[in-house]
Amino acid sequence: MSDSWKITLPCTRAEAEAIDPEGEAFAEFGAPPVLMTRELTEDDVEDWVIEAYFQDKPGAREIAVLRRLVPSAAATKAAPERIIEADWVTLSQAGLDPVVAGRFYVHTSANRGKVPPGLRAFHIEAGLAFGTGHHETTTGCLLTLEAMRKRGAVVRNLVDVGTGTGLLAFAGMHLWPNARATASDIDPISIDVTRENAAANGVKLGVGPGQLTLAVAPGMAHDIIERRAPYDLVLANIIAAPLIDLAPVIAAAVAPGGTVVLAGLLERQASAVAQAYRRHGLRLAGKVTLGDWPTLRMVRRAIR
């Protein structure tokens, strides 16, 4: 891996939440950066920061696009900071304790620790794709899947839309080992990361039961994903705006009695997201909230 570059700008919570990785503004980047947003002062909606990681040193054009994403930082100096490879690895692993969510134990190479008996360990490095298990949205999805399995849910066909690292697809395959599984992401880097993570965690790639098929796709717009519908389980840990936009497509791909797990939204966005899926025949059957991040479980009525 070569050195990377970082630009840090202040922003507000509203600006951070409004960033759409599939929007027109983001598409202006020649090579889209990895964006991370976080609050600096707890419960202060004005004191947030955005960190943009670029593979190559960003020029004036990239900086201008980044500024347009966070207008409140218009007067702030944006100086690219070089991150040498060793520093990037240190940065990505620092402070990430193992995560325990139901029967799952998620760790990086720097923090494996001792895996508790009976838990399924997943080795997921922090880096260029979202979904290490350390964010409340991913943890909420893992807990939702665990609860479904305990209630006796049967899943024969699942798809993880916007898979990131592949973690949620891997978890679904562990809970339902004979299921046919598909994982997609609009970002080819995420699919490369998922492929590497599958090898690291003993997840088989392929097209048969108990195997994972990978696809680079915006949402569910891919021949493989469309042919494999309908699904018993759709996982979508993205953000609120695309979740709402994808509601008609996702809902149409859910089998009778099937489940959609939605995450990546804030508590104040939950009602709008749930309503978008209700319009297409699904009902809210469960909700797990961690901090300000809810995970919604929507289901389609079974045929009797």
138 carries a ligand binding annotation: yes
**What pLDDT is attached to residue 181?**
98
Task: Judge whether 29 and 64 are in contact, CB under 8 Å.
Answer: no
> pLDDT tens-digit profile of 205-231?
999 999 999 999 988 999 999 999 999
Residues, the chain, total? 304
Closest CA to 173 of 196, 201, 131: 201
**What pLDDT is attached to residue 294?**
92
Distances (CA, A) of 133 to 44, 98, 104, 106, 151: 25, 9, 10, 6, 23
How many whole angstroms separate alpha carbon 171 and alpha carbon 100? 13
Coil, helix or strand for 50? Answer: strand
Q: Residues 272, 278, 280, 285: is their CA dihedral positive or negative? A: positive
pTM, two decimal places? 0.71
How many whole angstroms separate alpha carbon 31 and alpha carbon 2? 15
**What pLDDT is attached to residue 285?**
95
201 carries a ligand binding annotation: no
**What pLDDT is attached to residue 128?**
44
Assess whether the previous peptide bond of 294 is cis (omega < 30° from 0): no
Residue with tokens 């978008």: 276
Q: Residues 189, 192, 198, 199: is their CA dihedral positive or negative? A: negative
185 carries a ligand binding annotation: yes
**What pLDDT is attached to residue 21?**
65
Task: Judge whether 125 and 109 are in contact, CB under 8 Å.
Answer: yes
Residue ranges of E strands in 12-74: 34-39, 48-54
DSSP class of 267? G
Dig out the tokens for 280 from the structure: 């297409």
Residue 165's DSSP bridge partners are none
> pLDDT tens-digit profile of 32-58?
777 777 778 777 778 898 888 887 888
Block means of pLDDT (10 residues each) for the chain, 304 residues, are 78 84 70 77 82 84 88 88 58 59 84 83 68 68 94 96 93 97 92 93 96 94 96 94 94 97 91 96 94 92 74
Q: Which CATH architecture has domain 129-300?
A: 3-Layer(aba) Sandwich (3.40)
User: Residue type for 236, please?
Assistant: A
How many whole angstroms separate alpha carbon 225 and alpha carbon 274? 23
CATH number of 4-84: 3.30.70
Checking phi first, is residue 131 left (phi over 0); if not, alpha (psi -120 to 50) or beta?
Answer: left
E strand or H helix that includes residue 228 = helix 223-228
**What pLDDT is attached to residue 99?**
80
Domain boundaries, the chain: 4-84, 129-300
**What pLDDT is attached to residue 89?**
44
User: Residue type for 102, please?
Assistant: G
Question: Residue 184's CB: how many other CB atoms inside 10 A?
Answer: 25
